[in-house]
């Protein structure tokens, strides 16, 4: 039978899967000789056993952990359940993947009336003993007995009011004893410490299935099957008196990444008080003034841990009567800016390699360099200030609860969630909020940590703000009343609250970010292009590192107000001459647009897709619009109506679109080609280097390509002959029908590149209409009928298989074809790994995703190299 219980000196940091992250790191710190209160861990497989047995602890488990418990007692010199010399435990959850605050912790376990009295005698500190006892009952009732937590706080408030006490510090031992007496009338609480322990272990296992833990796992792609370990650890007490306290610290600043020790501390407080954010803590430097030796040891320890783990650490510690205890270390969550700065700094410091640095930055983190910030020039009066908990700027309507946030956000409004503090119960509201503002809590409070993780702008500890949930108001220290539904702006970078919508600037880059991107460029094999039509988007894309345009959707150029009527006239034309008149005008527009693109993309390839959407998309649909159009282009209304009617389709996505348009209207294709090549000629005459690539959409067979290539060639030759300039160009096809993918070997001889339009390919492989999936895909996701949205992350099994077939068979037929991706998947990190593995040449994505794709492409390669070295 596998061992189910491990002492803290029996594991190491590599045992995350078995012992959970918290447990593995407690073992590692113990092995490093750091002051860790001793304890034992019940393994994660035991959790799975527990669930499989219908939420029953394995038969021999209690026997097994009692053996470990004896050893802990020996080491700690105290005994569990002994009133004369009591040992108390914390019972803590800890999954293989960090899920801060998502599951339950029970502190001070092992107290009852008799033992509390003994603890008071032994410590000669009755106030501490009874404060600990009431905390224990409260937590135990909450977590194990599933009592309503509010009622306990309510009783304390009532008692304080009746006895003229303002805060906890004024509560005496007698007061707490009275509170305990009241608590015991509210819940039926087991006096036997061993019963308490067993129930607590069960409760920790069960907490794996709380709704908030589900939501967190879903958001972070954590498998449901992992389960949690249980850490049973000797208690140390931060609430023992003035030379005691608890703190949380980071080895570097988690907001901006600066290499300075950063933390918060509360004197005479248990750790839960820091995390809960109900009292606003002091900076850890306060410890340096009042307990310099403790501070020195803490400082040494944090440096040692960072070096040992070779990553920024997030520490939890407690000081009891001037002695330091380490309670937790883990890789610290950080903002995108911080993650980049820390990774680059650590390479400079020789702590990690460039490849490691690349793997440390999540593609999502990169986006924070690209997010808006409140424009410093345009700030309005600052009505309140708090801690800059999570950077960026956000504007929205004020709501006061998570439920309201969800409701209002569903109407399409941007919301700012305003709370006294947040708890894991608020996750669903935080998820939809544009910004979060809390009255209480520090930089390490729940609100701050979660917001940073989500990349949502947040301000915490906004002192002086007084929130009245019932009235739906938040009143600032200066008397400004912010009401429900008012629009406010948060500057999460500065911690400032302003009224109204304050303009935001575009996100700015940083030197470290550029360095990291340059490493990414050195390490990646996949090229990254952008999908762009306008010169502005193209310029942005190039600035963000795009190595060309992978998809220029030419139809977008015709939707412009000035041009749409020419397009409509062309579609509605009744004879060749009339159509040609419109085409000549469209050619002029198209040529100018293409020239602008070639200028921006000088020296880089520009893939231009021939007209793709069904023609009815260009026509007016309402009667009023038709009447107006009739006047403007001088056509009888009847004609317009009849034509619009005749272009209607039952399945437009499978209808008259893509290269089918070129087959029926070759003159349109000819116009487009002439425009592209004429623009290229002009670019060459300007001394530039245009590299047009003409792409045929929605192909199903080689005959289409042959026929359309002829039209294209004819257009190109005509222009080149007339202008006496030779333009380098390529002709290729979009791969977006299953038939094209399965017949790629036959297409190969006719093309120089193949670009997978994975949106349409996904649509046609699944038979899921892109425009209608909203009606059923959420249910598919909820019921786990699909693993993820196939329009976001490429489905490797079937759509990916089509790609594999297409690439391998066409490559075998004709080596040297260039392969690219131009669907949404081109900017999705998980899909990028697949495209790398497949040996494609480039991905193309929206301009703002380009830096993300550059990093993801580098990570794809580094990941495989690292694996190759391991095996």
State the minimum distance, in angstroms, from the CB of residue 78 to ligand ADP. 13
Tell whether residue 757 is a contact of Mg ion (CB under 5 A). Answer: yes
Question: Among residues 327 and 358, whose Cβ is nearest to ligand ADP?
Answer: 327
In sequence order, the β-bridge partners of residue 231 are 41, 92
Q: How far apart are CA 869 and CA 834, in angstroms?
A: 20
State the minimum distance, in angstroms, from the CB of residue 44 to ligand ADP. 15
Candidate segments 328-336, 410-418, 700-708, 715-723, binder of Mg ion by CB under 5 A:
328-336
Q: How far apart are CA 621 and CA 652, in angstroms?
A: 15
Question: Among residues 316 and 404, whose Cβ is nearest to ligand ADP?
Answer: 316
- Residue 417 touches which member of ligand ADP, Mg ion, none, C-beta under 5-8 Å by kind: none
- Residue 548 touches which member of Mg ion, ligand ADP, none, C-beta under 5-8 Å by kind: none
Q: Which residue has the tokens 């830096």?
A: 851
DSSP H/E element including 232: strand 229-234
| Residue 771 buriedness (CB in 10 A; 0-12 / 13-18 / 19+) | exposed
Contact 228, 19 (CB under 8 A): no
Tell me if residue 822 is catalytic: yes
Question: Among residues 106 and 676, whose Cβ is nearest to ligand ADP?
Answer: 106
- Rounded to the nearest angstrom, the gap between the alpha carbon of residue 822 and the centroid of all alpha carbons in its chain is 23
Question: Among residues 301 and 493, whose Cβ is nearest to Mg ion?
Answer: 301
Contact 383, 498 (CB under 8 A): yes
User: CA torsion sign, 145 to 150 to 151 to 157?
Assistant: positive
Tell whether residue 273 is a contact of Mg ion (CB under 5 A). Answer: no
For 275, phi and psi rounded to 5 degrees? Answer: -65, -40
Q: How are beta strands 496-499 and 382-385 bridged, if at all?
A: antiparallel
- Residue 90 touches which member of ligand ADP, Mg ion, none, C-beta under 5-8 Å by kind: ligand ADP
Tell whether residue 318 is a contact of Mg ion (CB under 5 A). Answer: no
State the minimum distance, in angstroms, from the CB of residue 316 to ligand ADP. 4
Active-site entry in 446, 616, 825, 836? 446
Q: Where are the beta strands (DSSP E) in 789-859?
A: 818-821, 842-845
- Residue 355 touches which member of Mg ion, ligand ADP, none, C-beta under 5-8 Å by kind: none
Q: How far, CA to CA in Å, does 704 sit from each of 806, 815, 820?
A: 18, 22, 21
3-state secondary structure of 105: strand
| Residue 825 buriedness (CB in 10 A; 0-12 / 13-18 / 19+) | buried
3-state secondary structure of 456: coil
State the minimum distance, in angstroms, from the CB of residue 344 to Mg ion. 28
Q: What are the respective helix, strand and coil percentages of the chain, to the nearest 5?
A: 50, 15, 30
Q: Which residue is nearest to Mg ion (CB)?
A: 760
3-state secondary structure of 395: strand
State the minimum distance, in angstroms, from the CB of residue 256 to ligand ADP. 23
Question: Among residues 46 and 105, whose Cβ is nearest to ligand ADP?
Answer: 105
Tell whether residue 495 is a contact of Mg ion (CB under 5 A). Answer: no
Closest CA to 571 of 509, 635, 627: 635
Q: Tokens at residue 361, please? A: 């930055």
State the minimum distance, in angstroms, from the CB of residue 8 to ligand ADP. 11
Number of CB atoms found within 10 A of residue 864's CB:
14
Candidate segments 590-598, 721-729, 735-743, 762-770, binder of Mg ion by CB under 5 A:
735-743
The helix/strand count (H/E) of the chain reads as 34, 33
- Residue 92 touches which member of Mg ion, ligand ADP, none, C-beta under 5-8 Å by kind: ligand ADP
Question: Among residues 105 and 810, whose Cβ is nearest to ligand ADP?
Answer: 105
Tell whether residue 550 is a contact of Mg ion (CB under 5 A). Answer: no
In sequence order, the β-bridge partners of residue 282 are 265
- Please report which residue ranges of 601-650 form alpha helices under DSSP H: 623-633, 637-647
- Residue 757 touches which member of Mg ion, ligand ADP, none, C-beta under 5-8 Å by kind: Mg ion
Tell me if residue 665 is catalytic: no
Exactly one of 354, 439, 760, 824 binds Mg ion (CB under 5 A); that residue is 760
State the minimum distance, in angstroms, from the CB of residue 558 to Mg ion. 17
Q: How far apart are CA 444 and CA 277, in angstroms?
A: 8
Question: Among residues 316 and 533, whose Cβ is nearest to ligand ADP?
Answer: 316
Q: Which residue is nearest to ligand ADP (CB)?
A: 271
Question: Among residues 316 and 439, whose Cβ is nearest to Mg ion?
Answer: 316
Give the largest Cα separation in the chain, rounded: 106
Residues touching Mg ion: how many (CB under 5 A)? 5
Question: Among residues 90 and 368, whose Cβ is nearest to ligand ADP?
Answer: 90
State the minimum distance, in angstroms, from the CB of residue 90 to ligand ADP. 3
Closest CA to 262 of 342, 343, 320: 342
Q: Tokens at residue 498, please? A: 């302003």
Number of CB atoms found within 10 A of residue 66's CB:
13
Closest CA to 756 of 375, 566, 765: 765
Rounded to the nearest 5 degrees, what angle is found at the Cα of 855, between the Cα atoms of 853 and 857?
Answer: 65
- Residue 327 touches which member of ligand ADP, Mg ion, none, C-beta under 5-8 Å by kind: ligand ADP
- Residue 760 touches which member of Mg ion, ligand ADP, none, C-beta under 5-8 Å by kind: Mg ion
- Residue 168 touches which member of Mg ion, ligand ADP, none, C-beta under 5-8 Å by kind: none
Note the residues at the interface with ligand ADP (CB under 6 A): 37, 90, 92, 100-101, 105, 107, 233-236, 246, 271-272, 275, 316, 318, 327-328
Q: How far apart are CA 842 and CA 699, in angstroms?
A: 20
Question: Among residues 605 and 757, whose Cβ is nearest to Mg ion?
Answer: 757
Question: Among residues 245 and 823, whose Cβ is nearest to ligand ADP?
Answer: 245
Tell whether residue 246 is a contact of Mg ion (CB under 5 A). Answer: no
Active-site entry in 27, 457, 822, 845? 822
Question: Among residues 107 and 156, whose Cβ is nearest to ligand ADP?
Answer: 107
> For 16, what's the count of Cα atoms within 13 Å in the CB-facing half-sphere?
11
- Residue 527 touches which member of Mg ion, ligand ADP, none, C-beta under 5-8 Å by kind: none
State the minimum distance, in angstroms, from the CB of residue 101 to Mg ion. 8
The contacts of residue 849 (CB under 8 Å, 6+ apart) are: 826, 827
State the minimum distance, in angstroms, from the CB of residue 669 to Mg ion. 16
DSSP H/E element including 45: helix 44-52
- Residue 107 touches which member of Mg ion, ligand ADP, none, C-beta under 5-8 Å by kind: ligand ADP
State the minimum distance, in angstroms, from the CB of residue 698 to Mg ion. 6
Q: How far apart are CA 309 and CA 139, in angstroms?
A: 33
Q: Sheet containing 89-94: which strands, arranged edge to edge?
A: 5-7, 39-42, 229-234, 89-94, 105-109
State the minimum distance, in angstroms, from the CB of residue 539 to Mg ion. 25
Exactly one of 196, 253, 255, 328 binds Mg ion (CB under 5 A); that residue is 328
Q: How are beta strands 262-267 and 245-250 bridged, if at all?
A: antiparallel
Candidate segments 58-66, 150-158, 334-342, 753-761, binder of Mg ion by CB under 5 A:
753-761
Closest CA to 850 of 369, 359, 216, 441: 369
Q: How far apart are CA 706 and CA 710, in angstroms?
A: 6
DSSP letter, residue 14: G
Question: Among residues 117 and 653, whose Cβ is nearest to Mg ion?
Answer: 653
State the minimum distance, in angstroms, from the CB of residue 410 to ligand ADP. 30
What residues make contact with Mg ion under the rule CB under 5 A? 316, 328, 736, 757, 760
Residues assigned a catalytic role: 446, 822
């Amino acid at each position: 039978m596998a061992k189910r219980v491990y002492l803290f000196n029996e594991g190491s940091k590599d045992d995350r899967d078995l012992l959970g992250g918290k447990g593995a790191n407690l073992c590692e710190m113990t092995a490093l000789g750091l002051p860790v209160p001793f304890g034992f861990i019940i393994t994660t497989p035991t959790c799975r056993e527990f669930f499989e047995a219908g939420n029953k602890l394995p038969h021999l488990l209690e026997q097994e952990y009692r053996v470990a418990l004896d050893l802990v007692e020996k080491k700690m010199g105290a005994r569990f359940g002994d009133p004369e010399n009591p040992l108390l435990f914390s019972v803590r959850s800890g999954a293989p993947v960090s899920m801060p605050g998502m599951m339950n912790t029970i502190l001070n376990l092992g107290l009852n009336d008799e033992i509390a009295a003994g603890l008071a005698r032994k410590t000669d500190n009755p106030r501490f003993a009874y404060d600990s006892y009431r905390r224990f009952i409260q937590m135990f009732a909450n977590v194990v007995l599933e009592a309503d937590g509010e009622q306990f706080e309510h009783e304390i408030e009532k008692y304080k009011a009746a006895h003229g006490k303002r805060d906890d510090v004024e509560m005496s031992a007698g007061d707490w004893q009275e509170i305990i007496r009241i608590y015991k009338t509210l819940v039926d609480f087991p006096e036997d410490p061993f019963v308490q322990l067993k129930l607590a272990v069960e409760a920790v296992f069960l907490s794996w299935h709380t709704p908030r833990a589900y939501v967190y796992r879903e958001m972070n792609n954590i498998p449901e099957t992992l389960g949690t370990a249980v850490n049973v650890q000797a208690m140390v007490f931060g609430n023992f008196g003035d030379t005691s306290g608890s703190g949380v610290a980071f080895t570097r600043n988690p907001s901006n990444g600066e290499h300075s020790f950063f933390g918060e501390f509360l004197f005479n407080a248990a750790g839960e008080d820091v995390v809960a954010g109900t009292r606003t803590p002091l900076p850890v430097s306060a410890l340096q003034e009042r307990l310099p030796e403790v501070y020195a040891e803490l400082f040494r320890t944090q440096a040692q841990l960072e070096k040992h783990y070779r990553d920024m650490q997030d520490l939890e510690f407690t000081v009891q009567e001037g002695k330091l205890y380490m309670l937790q270390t883990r890789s610290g969550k950080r903002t995108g800016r911080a993650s980049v700065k820390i990774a680059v700094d650590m390479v400079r410091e020789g702590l990690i390699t460039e490849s490691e640095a690349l793997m440390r930055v999540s593609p999502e983190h990169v986006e924070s360099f690209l997010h808006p910030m409140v424009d410093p020039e345009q700030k309005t009066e600052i009505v309140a200030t708090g801690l800059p908990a999570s950077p960026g700027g956000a504007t929205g309507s004020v709501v006061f609860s998570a439920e309201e946030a969800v409701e209002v956000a569903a109407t399409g409004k941007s919301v700012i969630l305003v709370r006294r503090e947040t708890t894991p119960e608020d996750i669903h509201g935080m998820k939809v909020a544009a910004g979060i503002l809390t009255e209480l809590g520090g930089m390490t409070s729940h609100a701050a940590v979660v917001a940073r993780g989500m990349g949502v702008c947040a301000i915490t500890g906004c002192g002086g703000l007084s929130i009245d949930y019932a009235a739906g108001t938040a009143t600032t220290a200066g008397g400004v009343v912010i009401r429900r539904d008012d629009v406010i702006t948060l500057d999460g970078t500065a911690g400032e609250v302003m009224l109204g919508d304050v303009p935001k600037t575009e996100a700015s880059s940083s030197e470290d970010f550029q360095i990291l991107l340059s490493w990414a460029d050195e390490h990646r094999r996949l090229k990254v292009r952008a999908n762009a039509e306008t010169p502005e988007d193209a310029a942005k894309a190039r600035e963000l590192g795009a190595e060309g345009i992978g998809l220029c959707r030419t139809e977008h150029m015709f939707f412009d107000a000035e041009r749409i009527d020419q397009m409509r006239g062309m579609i509605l034309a009744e004879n060749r001459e009339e159509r040609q008149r419109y085409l000549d005008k469209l050619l002029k527009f198209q040529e100018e647009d293409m020239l602008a693109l070639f200028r921006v993309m000088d020296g880089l390839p520009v893939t231009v897709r021939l007209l793709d959407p069904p023609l009815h998309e260009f026509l007016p649909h309402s009667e009023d619009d038709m009447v107006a159009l009739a006047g403007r282009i001088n056509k009888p209304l009847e004609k317009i109506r009849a034509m619009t009617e005749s272009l209607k389709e039952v399945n437009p996505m499978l209808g008259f679109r893509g290269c089918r348009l070129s087959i029926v209207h070759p003159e349109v294709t000819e116009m487009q080609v002439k425009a592209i090549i004429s623009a290229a000629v002009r670019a060459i005459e300007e001394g530039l280097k245009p590299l047009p690539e003409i792409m045929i959409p929605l192909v199903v067979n080689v005959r289409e390509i042959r026929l359309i290539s002829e039209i294209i060639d004819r257009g190109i030759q005509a222009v080149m002959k007339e202008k006496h300039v030779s333009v380098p160009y390529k002709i290729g096809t979009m791969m977006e029908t299953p038939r094209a993918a399965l017949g790629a070997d036959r297409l190969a001889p006719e093309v120089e590149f193949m670009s997978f339009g994975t949106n349409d390919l996904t649509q046609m492989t699944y038979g899921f209409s892109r425009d209608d999936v909203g009606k059923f895909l959420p249910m598919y996701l909820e019921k786990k009928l699909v693993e993820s949205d196939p329009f976001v992350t490429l489905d490797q099994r079937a759509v990916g298989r089509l790609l594999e077939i297409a690439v391998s068979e066409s490559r075998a037929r004709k080596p040297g074809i260039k392969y690219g991706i131009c669907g949404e998947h081109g900017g999705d990190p998980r899909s990028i790994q697949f495209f790398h593995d497949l040996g494609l040449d480039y991905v193309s994505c929206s301009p703002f995703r380009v830096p993300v794709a550059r990093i993801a492409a580098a990570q794809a390669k580094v990941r495989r190299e690292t694996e190759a070295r391991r095996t």
